[in-house]
Chains A and B, each alone.
Chain A
Amino acid sequence: MKQAVREAFISKILLLTALSSIGALTLITVFIFAEGLPVIFKTGFFDFIFGMKWKPSRGIFSIFPMIAGSFAVMAGAMLVSVPFALCCSIYLAEFAGRTTRAIVKPAIELLAGIPSVVYGFIGVTVLVPFIKNNIGGNGFSVLGCSIVLGIMVLPTITSISYDALRAVPDSYREGALALGATRWQAVKMAVVPAAGSGIIAAVILGMGRAIGETMAVIMIAGNSLIIPLSPLDPVRTLTSNIALEMGYASGMHRQALFATGVILFVIIMALNILATRVIKRAVR
C-alpha cells in the first residue's frame, strides 16, 4: 500500500516536471508574440517581411535583408555540411570496422560539444583572414559563415543519418547482396533509399540548427544590412540582428527585435514540424 502511494507520488512529480517544460515553452511563445506582434501589425505583415529598410532611429522596421541573410548562410552551411555528413554517416554505418567507428563517431559528436564562441573565434582568426587574402572581399562573409556553420551542424546531420542507416534491417543488405550486388551497390540502391526519410529529417534538423546559431555567426558574418549577392558579401542574420541590438534597444525598437524573434521562431518551428512529419511517414 505504502509502496503504491509512493509510486503514485513519484509519477505525479515526473508529470509535473514534464508539464513545466511545456509551461516554459508556452510562456516564452506568448511573451515573444505579445511583445513582437504589435510592431508587425503596425508596419504591416507584408512590409515587415519583404521591406528592405531597417532604420531603428527613424522607426522603420523591415527585415528582408536579414531573412535573406539567414537563408543564404543556412543554404551555404548545407552545401558544406550535407555531402560531408552523408559520406561520414554512410561510411560509419556501412563500411567502418568496429575500431574505426569507436574512434570516429565520438570524435564527430565531440564537435557538437565545442562552444560556438570558440568556432567564432577560430573563424575570425583563421578563416576570415584566409578568405580575405586568398579569395577576396574583406573576409567577413557568407562563405566564412557557411564553412563554420557547416562544421557546427555536421554532428547533428551525421548522427541522425547514421541512426537512420543503422535502423535499416540487415535483410535489405542480404537481399541486395544475394542478387549479386556489390556492397556499395547494396548501400546505394537499397539501404540509403530505405533510410531516405530519416536522412531528409536529419538535414532539416541541421537547417534548423544553422538558422538558429548566433554567436559564431555574429563574429564572422560582418553584419552589414545588405542582401548578400555573392558568397564574399557580408551578411546579417535574424539571430545576429537580435543579439547585436538588444543591449541598447528600447520602446518600439525593442519590440521590433521581438518581432524578428517571432519570425525566427516560426521558421524554426516549421522546420521541426516538417522533420517530425517526415520521420513519422518513414515509420509508417
Chain B
Amino acid sequence: MTNGITAYDKGEAPILKISGLDYYYGDFHALKSVSMDICRNSIVALIGPSGCGKSTLLKALDRMSDLIEGSRVSGEVLFNGENIFGAGVDITLLRKRIGMVFQHPNPFALSIADNIKFGPRVHGEKNRETLDSLVESSLRAVGLWDQLKDRLDKKATELQADEQQRLCIARLVAVEPEILLMDEPCSTLDPIATLSIEELMRELKKNYTIITVTHNMQQAARVSDYSGFMLMGELVEYSKTADIFSNPRDKRTDDYISGHYG
C-alpha cells in the first residue's frame, strides 16, 4: 500500500524519518505503524477527525509521551539520522531541538522576559546580555517586539490569547530548535488572530520545520506544504497538500475532505 511516505522532493535527506511507529496507551493501539518523512523547512499539516491520534503522534516526536503512565512505543523515528528512542538519547536536549506549542497558550506566570529566558536558563545560559538579546530577537521573530518592548516585566498571563500564543512560540525560538510541533495552535483564537499566526508560521518556515495539527481543512490548505490524513491511528494518506486536496488517492481521505465525517 502506498501512502506516500517519501513525499519530499528536494533531494535532501529528511529531517525526520518516521518508520513503523506504533503507540499504545495500555491496551489501546493509538498509532498503527505510522511511517512518514518530514523534509526540512516545510510545513506539514496533520488532519483527521478528533481522536484519530494526531496529538499522540506529535507527543511521540518530542517524547512528551514518555510522561504518560502505561504507554508503550515501538518503531523508529530518525531525527537527523539518529533514533530518538535510542539508548543514550538526552531527552532534555531532544526537547530543546524539537519544541512543542500547545493548543491552549500556556505562558508561565512569570514576566514576559522571564518566559523567554526560561528555556535558555534551563539549558544553562547565565549571561545577562545573552539572555536579554535573546528576549529581543525571539520577540522580533514572532512579531511581538514592537508592541511589548516597553512592558517586558509585565506578567505574561495578562496578555491577550494570541499574544500569549506568539509568546509561547517565541519561548521556543529562544532555544533555537530545529522542529516546531504545533498542536492546534489556533483553535482557541479568533479568525483574525488565526490568520496572523498562520502568517507567522509561513515566516518561521524559513528557519524551522513545522509539524502542525489542525482540524480546520482550510487552514491546512492555506499554510502547509504537505498534509497527512489520519484515521483511527493510521496515516491513511500523506502527500503534497495541493495533491491531497485536489486529488486524494484514498476513498477515506476523499470522504473526509469533502465533509462526509469529522
Contact string, A45-66, partner B, CB cutoff 8 A, digits 1/0? 0000000000000000000000
Q: Give every chain B residue within 8 A of A176 (Cβ-Cβ).
A: 108, 118, 122
Contact string, B17-31, partner A, CB cutoff 8 A, digits 1/0? 000000000000000
Q: Are A193 and B106 in contact, CB atoms less than 8 angstroms apart?
A: no
Q: Which of B123-167 contact A (CB under 8 A)?
A: 123
Q: State which of B91-99, B197-205, B221-229, B250-258 sits at the interface with chain A.
A: B91-99
Q: Are A185 and B122 in contact, CB atoms less than 8 angstroms apart?
A: yes
Minimal Cβ-Cβ distance residue in B for A189:
B118
Q: Are A175 and B99 in contact, CB atoms less than 8 angstroms apart?
A: no
Interface size on B, residues (CB 8 A): 27
Q: Are B109 and A172 in contact, CB atoms less than 8 angstroms apart?
A: yes
In the complex, A178 has a CB within 8 A of chain B: yes
Q: Give every chain B residue within 8 A of A182 (Cβ-Cβ).
A: 92, 122
In the complex, B168 has a CB within 8 A of chain A: yes
With A175-B168, A189-B121, A189-B122: A180-B106 Cβ-Cβ less than 8 Å:
no
Q: When chains A and B are docked, how far (Å) is the Cα of A56 from the Cα of B195?
A: 79
Q: Give every chain B residue within 8 A of A177 (Cβ-Cβ).
A: 64, 67, 95
Q: Give every chain A residue within 8 A of B109 (Cβ-Cβ).
A: 172, 190, 193-194, 196
Q: Are B172 and A179 in contact, CB atoms less than 8 angstroms apart?
A: yes
Q: Give every chain A residue within 8 A of B96 (Cβ-Cβ).
A: 179-180
Q: Give every chain B residue within 8 A of A194 (Cβ-Cβ).
A: 108-109
With A180-B122, A189-B118: A175-B106 Cβ-Cβ less than 8 Å:
yes
Interface size on A, residues (CB 8 A): 18
In the complex, B32 has a CB within 8 A of chain A: no
Q: Which of A169, A174, A179, A196 contacts B122 (CB 8 A)?
A: A179
In the complex, B62 has a CB within 8 A of chain A: yes
In the complex, A122 has a CB within 8 A of chain B: no
Q: When chains A and B are docked, how far (Å) is the Cα of A175 from the Cα of B64?
A: 10
For residue A11, give the distance in angstroms from its CB to the closest CB of chain B: 38
Q: Are B118 and A180 in contact, CB atoms less than 8 angstroms apart?
A: no
Minimal Cβ-Cβ distance residue in B for A175:
B106
Q: When chains A and B are docked, how far (Å) is the Cα of A169 from the Cα of B108?
A: 10
Q: Which of A217-234 contact B (CB under 8 A)?
A: none
For residue B3, give the distance in angstroms from its CB to the closest CB of chain A: 28
Q: Which of B67, B93, B102, B121 contacts A175 (CB 8 A)?
A: B102
Q: Are B106 and A174 in contact, CB atoms less than 8 angstroms apart?
A: yes
Q: Which of A154-208 contact B (CB under 8 A)?
A: 169, 171-172, 174-182, 185, 189-190, 193-194, 196
Q: When chains A and B are docked, how far (Å) is the Cα of A179 from the Cα of B99?
A: 6
In the complex, B171 has a CB within 8 A of chain A: yes
Minimal Cβ-Cβ distance residue in B for A186:
B122
In the complex, B100 has a CB within 8 A of chain A: yes
Q: Are B64 and A172 in contact, CB atoms less than 8 angstroms apart?
A: no
For residue A13, give the distance in angstroms from its CB to the closest CB of chain B: 42
Q: When chains A and B are docked, how far (Å) is the Cα of A157 from the Cα of B245?
A: 59
Choose among B95, B104, B106, B172 the residue with the greatest number of A CB atoms under 10 Å from its CB.
Answer: B106
For residue A198, give the distance in angstroms from its CB to the closest CB of chain B: 11
Q: When chains A and B are docked, how far (Å) is the Cα of A194 from the Cα of B118?
A: 14
Contact string, B164-193, partner A, CB cutoff 8 A, digits 1/0? 000010011001000000000000000000
Q: Give every chain A residue within 8 A of B248 (Cβ-Cβ).
A: none
Q: Are A178 and B95 in contact, CB atoms less than 8 angstroms apart?
A: yes
Q: Give every chain B residue within 8 A of A181 (Cβ-Cβ).
A: 92, 118, 122
Contact string, B41-70, partner A, CB cutoff 8 A, digits 1/0? 000000000000000000000101001000
Choose among B64, B92, B171, B172 the residue with the greatest number of A CB atoms under 10 Å from its CB.
Answer: B92
Contact string, A233-264, partner B, CB cutoff 8 A, digits 1/0? 00000000000000000000000000000000
In the complex, B13 has a CB within 8 A of chain A: no
Contact string, A129-144, partner B, CB cutoff 8 A, digits 1/0? 0000000000000000
In the complex, B119 has a CB within 8 A of chain A: yes
In the complex, B110 has a CB within 8 A of chain A: yes
Q: Are A179 and B110 in contact, CB atoms less than 8 angstroms apart?
A: no
Q: Give every chain B residue within 8 A of A175 (Cβ-Cβ).
A: 102, 106-108, 168, 171
Q: When chains A and B are docked, how far (Å) is the Cα of A199 from the Cα of B261?
A: 49
Minimal Cβ-Cβ distance residue in B for A185:
B122
Q: Are B175 and A179 in contact, CB atoms less than 8 angstroms apart?
A: yes
Q: Are B62 and A193 in contact, CB atoms less than 8 angstroms apart?
A: no
Can you list the 10 inter-chain pairs with the closest CB atoms, starting with the nearest? A171-B106, A180-B96, A194-B109, A180-B95, A178-B100, A180-B92, A179-B119, A175-B106, A181-B122, A190-B108
A/B interface sample: 29 pairs, CB < 8 A = A171-B102, A171-B106, A172-B109, A174-B102, A175-B168, A175-B171, A176-B108, A176-B118, A177-B64, A177-B67, A178-B99, A178-B102, A179-B95, A179-B99, A180-B94, A180-B119, A180-B122, A181-B122, A182-B92, A182-B122, A189-B108, A189-B121, A190-B108, A190-B109, A190-B118, A193-B109, A193-B110, A194-B109, A196-B109
Q: List B residues at the A interface (Cβ < 8 Å).
A: 62, 64, 67, 91-96, 99-100, 102, 104, 106-110, 118-119, 121-123, 168, 171-172, 175
